[in-house]
Amino acid sequence: MSSPELYRPIELTFEGTAAIPTDRTPLTVRLRHAASRTEHVVPGFWDGGTTYRVRLAPELEGDWTWASESDDPSLAGRDGAFTVERGADHGPVRVAHRFHFAHADGTPFRPVGATAYNWLHQDEPLFTQTVDAIAEAGFNKLRFMVFPQGGGYVEHVPTLMPFEKTDGRWDVTRPVPEFFQRLDRAVELLGERGIQADVLIYNAYDRGQFGLDELTEEEDAAYLRYLVARLAAHPHVWWSLCNEFDQLERPDDRWDRTGALLGEIDPYDHLRSIHNWIELYDNNQPWVTHASIQNGSVTTDFGRANLYRDVWGKPVVLDEIKYEGDIPERWGHLDAEQLVHQFWIATVAGCYASHGESFVTESGSLHMVEGGPLRGDSPARLGFLREILEGLDVVGLDPIDKWDDPAHVAGIPRRQYVQYLGRSAPTSWSFRLPIGVPGERVEEGDVFEVDVIDTWNMTVTPVGRRFTVTEVQRNDAYDRVSEPVALPEGAAVALRITRIGG
């Protein structure tokens, strides 16, 4: 408890009785920040035997006090105080600038995610290899499921399950501490490697194998309260309510209520989304912080993914755009060039995307199911994309002339732009920008530098000349004087255009 760090979890341990029903919160801690009078009510949880825990995550520097409350006298009435100092953690990721993300301390976060649905349920060494592989590739978010996966391409059936059974039925009032302690460690491991944990709370892949998709709404809620109490203090947690929610035959309003409950009970207000199969969820629901979308086709051509931004007015993360791999199903046999291409299209649409790999592994499974080493050629290029994004001067890329720019230039007007020329560049590019919006319009005399980015060969080549706007038309601005920029014809090229004066 000495010198807690800003945003880092602080765990309080209590010894109580084992008789407290775990279908409700056994204790809470009221957490107060002296200077700002900020107050959180943080739920605790049972962790086996007579042990109870509460995990605090202070998001402000300075002096905090806490006091426990419970129906159980052995858990109630404890209190304490601590002083929080700034450390190395940037804090939870939040929505920033409407369509983008930043950590609580303001540091922009650009998700370039990976997927290994059933990772949590694998044994060593696969479990650790997976984290090594995605960290080394440069991914900064991992989508994985709490409940195990059944069905095709699943070759490993876990023995450790989240609940005990009572009369042959999962009993959410009896969570299995070992299961959730393993989940704790999994989330911590991702955090240590700089990877956001995109936790899929429910899933549609049970396929009758485990029966965990047959919980009632009340049982789902009890599990949700337990999960949030355990994990929410980790700064790098994102909540994804369900993967392919519409594969489950449930009315949408059940998801509305469960999502709203998640928003209410998480004292730290982590990012919240829900991921679709064929039917899209109403991402205008207030509990949804960003859209998590499955639809590869919006990244196969320009002018599509940006439409999702408009309709929800929230960040759009294209969490399933098909996979690099070699299986017969069309969702699993993209070549690496195509997947990288689709990431760049997502980027200039002002959106983000996630990777998945579907080469058949030795066990007969897929990386996007069980994890393991990555074999594809896209991860290195996606790590390079992440570096490009992290090197931008702007928090995120927005389509400048969102419906009408034939070049689909994205950025912040008069500051910095990215234009992606597709899988096969022409021989040259002449300086041209969309003019921007009133108050942020490119003007004659504005001076820019241009870098040529080879998205596949992972090079950034400054053109080494300056471009000055000589003509501003109704919708476009041009440098009519400078020579065109020679391009590596046929390569998958993007341009970074940065204003340096004028």
Nearer CB in complex with its own copies: 279/393: 279
Which residues are CB-contacts of 452 (< 8 A; sequence separation ≥ 6)? 460, 461, 462, 463, 485, 487, 488, 493, 495
In the complex, least distance from residue 45 CB atom to its own copies, rounded to whole angstroms: 35
The interface with its own copies within residues 457-486 (CB under 8 A) comprises 474-475
In the complex, least distance from residue 108 CB atom to its own copies, rounded to whole angstroms: 24
- Per-residue x/- marks for its own copies, 416-455, CB under 8 A? ----------------------------------------
Q: Point out which span in 66-74, 154-162, 212-220, 302-310 binds its own copies (CB under 8 A).
A: 302-310
Within 334-452, residue ranges assigned H as helices are: 336-348, 367-370, 378-390
Under the binding rule (CB under 8 A), the answer on residue 310 touching its own copies is: yes
Block residue for tokens 């994890």:
371
Under the binding rule (CB under 8 A), the answer on residue 153 touching its own copies is: no
In the complex, least distance from residue 145 CB atom to its own copies, rounded to whole angstroms: 23
In the complex, least distance from residue 279 CB atom to its own copies, rounded to whole angstroms: 7
Under the binding rule (CB under 8 A), the answer on residue 301 touching its own copies is: yes
Instruction: Report how far residue 488's alpha carbon sits from residue 233's, in angstroms, rounded to the nearest whole number.
Output: 48
Residue 476: CA atoms inside 13 Å, Cβ hemisphere, count? 13
3-state helix, strand, coil in the chain (%, to 5): 20, 30, 45
Under the binding rule (CB under 8 A), the answer on residue 298 touching its own copies is: yes
β pairing state of 459-468 and 447-454: antiparallel
Nearer CB in complex with its own copies: 164/329: 329
Within 138-206, residue ranges assigned H as helices are: 177-192
Please select the residue that binds its own copies; options are 3, 330, 362, 464, rule is CB under 8 A.
Answer: 330
Instruction: Report how far residue 449's alpha carbon sits from residue 62's, in angstroms, rounded to the nearest whole number.
Output: 44
Q: Are 93 and 113 in contact (CB under 8 A)?
A: no
Nearer CB in complex with its own copies: 258/295: 295
Please select the residue that binds its own copies; options are 313, 445, 484, 490, rule is CB under 8 A.
Answer: 313
Tokens matching residue 310: 């408009």
Under the binding rule (CB under 8 A), the answer on residue 178 touching its own copies is: no
Under the binding rule (CB under 8 A), the answer on residue 295 touching its own copies is: yes
Please select the residue that binds its own copies; options are 73, 403, 438, 439, rule is CB under 8 A.
Answer: 403
Tokens matching residue 439: 């108050």
Q: Point out which span in 156-164, 227-235, 328-336, 481-489 binds its own copies (CB under 8 A).
A: 328-336
Nearer CB in complex with its own copies: 25/243: 243
Q: Point out which span in 181-189, 323-331, 344-352, 486-494 binds its own copies (CB under 8 A).
A: 323-331
Nearer CB in complex with its own copies: 284/427: 284
Of 136, 135, 119, residue with least CA distance to 127 = 119
Handedness of CA 303, 304, 307, 312 (dihedral sign): negative
Q: Point out which span in 23-31, 134-142, 303-311, 339-347 binds its own copies (CB under 8 A).
A: 303-311
β partners of residue 366? 360
Instruction: Report how far residue 448's alpha carbon sits from residue 479's, in angstroms, rounded to the nearest whole number.
Output: 10
Please select the residue that binds its own copies; options are 264, 279, 444, 483, rule is CB under 8 A.
Answer: 279
In the complex, least distance from residue 409 CB atom to its own copies, rounded to whole angstroms: 14
Please select the residue that binds its own copies; options are 260, 280, 380, 491, rule is CB under 8 A.
Answer: 280
Q: Point out which span in 198-206, 256-264, 289-297, 479-487 binds its own copies (CB under 8 A).
A: 289-297
Under the binding rule (CB under 8 A), the answer on residue 339 touching its own copies is: no
Block residue for tokens 């109630």:
76
CA distances (Å), origin 272, targets 85, 258, 351, 383 = 28, 11, 16, 25
If you ran DSSP here, which 8-state letter would residue 214 be given? G
Residue type, 8: R
Structure-derived torsion over alpha carbons of residues 380, 382, 388, 391, reported in degrees to the nearest 10: -90
Instruction: Report how far residue 126's alpha carbon sits from residue 371's, in angstroms, rounded to the nearest whole number.
Output: 7
Under the binding rule (CB under 8 A), the answer on residue 456 touching its own copies is: no
Q: Are 242 and 203 in contact (CB under 8 A)?
A: yes
Total Cβ atoms within 10 A of residue 376: 24
The interface with its own copies within residues 196-215 (CB under 8 A) comprises none
Please select the residue that binds its own copies; options are 99, 109, 308, 344, rule is CB under 8 A.
Answer: 308
Residues engaged in binding its own copies (CB under 8 A): 279-280, 282-284, 295-298, 300-301, 303-304, 307-308, 310-313, 328-330, 403-404, 474-475
